[in-house]
Each structure stands twice: as C-alpha cells, then as structure tokens.
Amino acid sequence: MKKQIKLVLLLIVFILITGTLSACQAKPPKEWWKDVVFYEIFVRSFKDSNGDGIGDFNGIIEMLDYLNDGDPNTSDDLGIGGIWLMPINPSPSYHGYDVTDYKAVNPDYGSLEDFERLLKECHKRGIRVVIDFVINHTSSKHPWFVSAADSESPYRNWYVWSEKRPNNTSGPWGSNAWYQKGKEWYYAPFWSEMPDLNYHNPEVSEAIYDATKFWLDLGVDGFRVDAARYLYEEGFILQDSPKTIKWYQDWYSYYLKLNERAYSVGEVWTDTSMIKRYNQPTKGMEQYFMFDLAADLVGSVYSPSAWRVSKAFQKAMDAFPGGDFSSFLTNHDQNRLASVLEEDPVKQKLAAFLLLTGPGTPYIYYGEEIGMTGKKPDEDIRKPMQWSSQNHAGFSSKSPWRALNDGWSKNNVEVQSGDENSLLNWYRQLINLRNKEPLLRKGAYLPISSDCRSLYAVLREENGTQLLTLANLKNEPIENCTLTLKESPLSGEYSVEMLLGEPLFEKMVFGAQGELDEVKITRTINAAETFVILLKK
C-alpha cells in the first residue's frame, strides 16, 4: 500500500513539474507581434551584472520585472511583450554590427548558456525575444573574410572583389565603397571594416539559412534584419534590387517551415512606397519599420499638426492593411527623442500617446520612457541606462564603458517611479491600457476632422466595438472645436466611458451613414490634454 501511495505522489509531482515547464515554454499565439509593445535594448548599455562596466545578459535578467513581471494584473511594470536585442554576436566593435561569428554570442555579454537562460526567463513572463540579424556584411576580422584575402581561398567568392579599382567607387549614398586589400579591391559601402557578402554566391545564402536555423532552434522568436536593402548589387542598382526582394521572400518561406510563429522585421530605411515592394508579389518579412511615419509623429508634436499624424498613419495602413507594420519614434541610429523635442516632457508625453494609441506594432528605444537625452556621435545615443541615483546610475558597480548623461542622478527610473506624473509612469499607463484594449492594437483607423488644427481625433472600430482617441497637440488650450466625419460603421446615440482623461462630453450621436456633422465640443480642451473614450450603444 505504501509503495502505491509513493507512486501516486511521484506521479502528481511529475505532472506538476511538467505542467509548469509546459506553461513556461508554451508556444505564443500566431501573429503574437500584433499584440505586443517591443522594447529595443543595447545590451552593452542596459545593466551590468558582473562589475566590468559593460551590460550583459544576466543584467537584463535582473531587470526583467521592470519590463514585464509576468502578472497582467499589475501596473507598476512597463507591460512590454517583446524585446529586440541589438547585435549579440561576437564583434571587434562596441556596437556589434560587424559580426565575426553568426552562431555565437559576444563574450562581453556572457555565455551562450547565459543567453539561453535569458530566453527562458523572458518566456516565463510572456516576453518574446528578437535578435539583430546583420546579414548584409561581416566584420573584416570574420574568418571568412580573413581567408578570402587569399585568391585561392574557398571563401574568395563569398565577398565582392574587383581586380582593378572600379571607375565608379561610389556606394548607395555616393561615398566611397571600394577598398584595396593586396592587389585587389573589395566592396564595403558601410565601412572599410564591414565587407559586403556576395549573395550571388549560393553558399552565402546557405550559411545565413544555417544561422537562421541555429537561433530558431535555440528558442529565439525572430529577427530584426539590419541594412536589409543592400544584399544584391545588380549593375547600377545598389539597393532595393529585385534579387534582394526575392531573397527575403524565399527566406521568409524557409524560416516559417522551421517555426510557423517566428517573426521578422526589416530595417528598410526608405519611403513607405518602396518598402511596400518587399511584400510583392509575396511577403518578404512579417513587418517593416515605418521611417516616414516616425518622422511625421515626432514632427507633428514638434510643430503641432493633427492632420500630419492621421495622414501618416493612413499612408502606412494603406501600404500594410490591418496595421501590419512596426512603428517607433526614434532608434539607435537617430538623435534621442528627448533631445529632438528639446527635453520638453509635455511633448515627449504627446509623442508617446500618438505612438501607443495608434495602429502598428510599437517599438520603444531603451531609456526613451524616462526621457534619456543623446545626440550623435552614435556612442552618445547608446549610453548606459539610468536606473537610480546610486553610484554609476545603478547600471554598474564601476565606471561604465561610456560616461553617463549629465543629470542622471535626478533623471532615472527610481526617481520617476516615485512621481505619479512622470514620463515613466505615463508610458506604463499607456502600454498597460494598450494591452487591455484590443481596439488600440487592431481596430480600424478612421480619422475625424476638426477646425482646430492641433486637435488629433480618431475613431477606432472593430466588430461592433469602438473608441475615440483625442489629443490637443498644442501646449495651450483650445476652444469651440468641432468634430466632422463623413461616414463610419456607427449610427445612433452612444454613451461614453473615459478610459483615459477627464470627461469631454456625455454622449455622441452619429447619423444614419455614421457621420458626424460639425459636432461642437463645448468645453475647453486644456494644453496637451489627451483622451481615450470607449463608446457604448
């Protein structure tokens, strides 16, 4: 009898353990990226766990509860559902965009086991992990290129060589792109130490496919593809070539066979109309960053223009229906948002509101949520995260790899967490609201016109539910504003429930065609006031 009881107890323990493991390792839902807010992390600058002044994987693990504690009922975390890690591969440079091994991690950041532990801890909290995939070029110190310097090397044709200095040495941006090594010249438009891979050689694609499989097998949830426009040079076409676009469409099909829930997002830094070509005739990546949209969001706050915001979102929605694109304000290649907006916290809050209540999958650059400043050179827009007022801003126990921003002791996560009106708590509020309200993530986007130029008003609607987002983009009050909408799926009278902001009106009435005919808002809308309003029939 005792043996039977022991067996039953062991069986119960086994079921509990395996159930817990399966819960931690559960597959994410399909198209999970449409329901999350991403957070971009430069590992070197996020959190140092071992006191060498350099951020690492274990440092990120220490701070995961700041991003998402795994409990959807709490609101003191950011509510982040995905992180994008800037390059984690071995590299001779601080930034990592010149890779020396596609199937290893930078020892500055820890071991491969440390990275796997980071993946597990993220997945426990429902955070998906996307890594930078730098596949257009390698480091000049990559073993492939070191070998390729020998004309008899099997890797010779993995790079682009010319026996003579080309008559036109210009790259895609008009700067020099050819450099001499020995008696020949190699193509490297980004930098002499970043030689371009030769995708006309099928062996290169095979190697990148192999790296793709390596990371997906390890548990990575997807890739952010760096410099995606430049894989193939076809004569005078140095970017966005037909073969480049076709390569991604083939790669997309390949990796989906490995993992149908894997995600890719492309850095195709050009106008939206060109980016759209990457999904024609078939999809090349799940999403692309909308650089035009980012410029318009920030510009609309800098110089208030509601029309510019709604037009920019509509343009992105027209190119990628259903909001299947990635939105952001600034990233690691641009002056930080706080510096662009002259360190004005009101404007930063408005920019965050536009981003996090709009369609698309939003990305936040680390430190943006506390108003970290930074202007180029690049090192100064990638400085260590400001965690607290302790020594070295709580980033490290010793001097960090790059000097901290001025004012870090007064502007950090610890200080802002204690201020209910801080930028950080505003981000927390907006992201958690977005996580709770599907309409903010996936609803149709119907701009509402107003005679007040700075009043941004949008109707979001899906499957019979609807809400309004409004914002006065001016830093001064506006009065007697009207709302006009020619048609919508709504009709009749709706009561209102304020999800964000103070009451604006008691009800809204739409005509038979869903129209609003110069409906006047009777109360003054305060400077930079924002609203999210649920409409109920």
Res 21 pLDDT > 80? no
Res 4 pLDDT > 80? no
- pLDDT on residue 14: 43
- pLDDT on residue 508: 93
Q: Distance between CA 312 and CA 289 in Å, rounded?
A: 13
What count of Cα atoms within 13 Å lies in the side-chain half-sphere of residue 262? 24
Res 206 pLDDT > 60? yes
Res 5 pLDDT > 60? no
Whole-number average pLDDT of the chain:
94
Report in angstroms the alpha-carbon separations of 463 from 318, 320, 358, 467.
20, 20, 18, 12
- pLDDT on residue 27: 77
For residue 30, name the pLDDT band (cuts at 50, 70, 90).
Answer: confident
- pLDDT on residue 28: 79
Domains assigned to the chain: 38-134+290-436 (3.20.20.80), 143-187 (3.90.400.10), 443-536 (2.60.40.1180)
For residue 18, name the pLDDT band (cuts at 50, 70, 90).
Answer: very low
Q: Distance between CA 471 and CA 304 in Å, rounded?
A: 11
In this structure, of 11-15, 32-36, 55-59, the range with the lowest mean pLDDT score is: 11-15
- pLDDT on residue 105: 98
Q: What is the DSSP string of 214-262?
A: HHHHHT--EEEETTGGGS--BTTB-SS-HHHHHHHHHHHHHHHHH-TT-
Res 13 pLDDT > 80? no
Q: Distance between CA 352 and CA 341 in Å, rounded?
A: 12
- pLDDT on residue 1: 47
CB 141, CB 91: distance < 8 Å: no
CB 148, CB 101: distance < 8 Å: no
For residue 29, name the pLDDT band (cuts at 50, 70, 90).
Answer: confident
Res 11 pLDDT > 70? no
Per-residue pLDDT, averaged over 170-194, amounts to: 95
- pLDDT on residue 167: 87
CB 325, CB 319: distance < 8 Å: yes
The DSSP element (H or E) to which 212 belongs, if any, is: helix 202-218
More confident: 415 or 72: 415
CB 67, CB 83: distance < 8 Å: yes
Q: Distance between CA 433 and CA 448 in Å, rounded?
A: 22
Q: Distance between CA 112 and CA 357 in Å, rounded?
A: 37
CB 172, CB 195: distance < 8 Å: no
The DSSP element (H or E) to which 302 belongs, if any, is: helix 291-302
Report in angstroms the alpha-carbon separations of 74 from 67, 69, 392.
12, 8, 29
- pLDDT on residue 26: 64
pLDDT digits (tens, 9 = 90+) for 99-124: 999 999 999 999 999 999 999 999 99
Residue type, 435: N
- pLDDT on residue 193: 97
Res 201 pLDDT > 70? yes
pLDDT digits (tens, 9 = 90+) for 449-480: 999 999 999 999 998 899 999 999 999 999 99
Which residues are designated catalytic?
226, 267
Indicate the pairing of strand 516-520 with strand 482-485: antiparallel
Q: Which residues contact 316 (CB under 8 A, 6 or more apart)?
A: 272, 290, 292, 293, 323, 325, 327, 359, 360
Per-residue pLDDT, averaged over 301-320, amounts to: 97
pLDDT digits (tens, 9 = 90+) for 472-514: 999 999 999 999 999 999 999 999 999 999 999 999 999 999 9
pTM comes to 0.94
